[in-house]
Amino acid sequence: MLSTDDHSRDSAGMRYVYPVVSRRAGGISIGINLNPNNACNWRCVYCQVPDLKRGGPPPIDLALLAAEFEEFLRRAAAADFLQRVAPAGARRIVDVAFSGNGEPTSAPEFGAALDIVAQALERHGLLGKVKIRLITNGSLVDRVRVREALTRLGRLGGEVWFKVDAVGPAPSFRINGVRMNADTVRRRLRLCGGLVETWVQTCVFAWDGTPPAEAEVAAYVDFLPGVQDAVAGVLLYGLARPSLQPEASRLGRLPESWLGDLAGKIEKLGLTVRVSP
């Protein structure tokens, strides 16, 4: 039985395809893992990937990916599938999410994998009914092949969740393991938002029992007006599952009231906010 507390990539016994119950998507999400070697170009302290390492993915076996995705859609069409694997209230397939164990766009085959997913959904009469999402740190949006894939994703009615956990080199290094300049993130967000519907996704948590500093929160809120016309809104979420990184013991969940206060500040800017405590 799937749950929001366990996003195991092995739940379907496949290399690239796995189902999870997504509290943010509101149902069953079919995950596409293009980083089965647990390598990513970032290292987020809240990441639930075991043995995470820095780097890129191995070559993707596109034929195997296509076969696995087709097989999973065949299984999902069985009358009792959702009753067997999902809790009540989550028994519907809501999206196909390129997420997995690292940055999906770091795979040179990302565009081809997107085409495989779209073609299979169309064959099963699901294209346009099941949304295709990319969950990304946005660091590779500048690459031509990534922009081309994002353009196709936009034409398919897809969506991007673009990670912005902190604004400024010091806090982004502490949280994501990279020193990100606000102007660079803003430019990439605007570029992405011009190609496909894009949401800012932000994970917030306590560090050593203390919520984010007021100065860091202010920098984040001040950042948003510069991308407001390019994004659909903000996905604000807290920790749902324990981190598997060395900093895990230092991280904690924030009260719903804290997330609500931050959501209120964002809403005052005129942005839509969805909160998942």
Predicted confidence at residue 241, as pLDDT, reads 84
Per-residue pLDDT, 88: 65
Taking only the tens place, the pLDDT of each residue in 35-94 is 999 999 999 999 999 999 999 999 999 999 999 999 999 888 775 776 777 666 666 788
pLDDT for the residue numbered 148:
98
Supply the pTM of this predicted model. 0.92
Predicted local distance difference test score (pLDDT) of residue 130: 94
How many residues appear in the chain?
277
Average pLDDT over residues 236-258: 95
Residue 147 in this model has a pLDDT that exceeds 80: yes
Residue 202 pLDDT greater than 70, yes or no:
yes
Q: Is the pLDDT of residue 6 over 50?
A: no
pLDDT at 3 (0 to 100): 47
DSSP E strand stretches across 33-88: 39-40, 53-54
Homologous superfamily in CATH for domain 17-202: Aldolase class I (3.20.20.70)
**Residue for token pair 């956990």:** 165
The rounded distance, in Å, linking the Cα atoms of 198 and 231 is 5
Enumerate helices (H) and strands (E) in the chain, giving the number of each.
8, 12
Q: What angle do CA 53, 55, 58 make, to 5 degrees?
A: 105
The residue extents of the domains of the chain are 17-202
Report d(CA 52, CA 39) in Å as an integer: 6
Q: What is the mean pLDDT of the chain?
A: 92
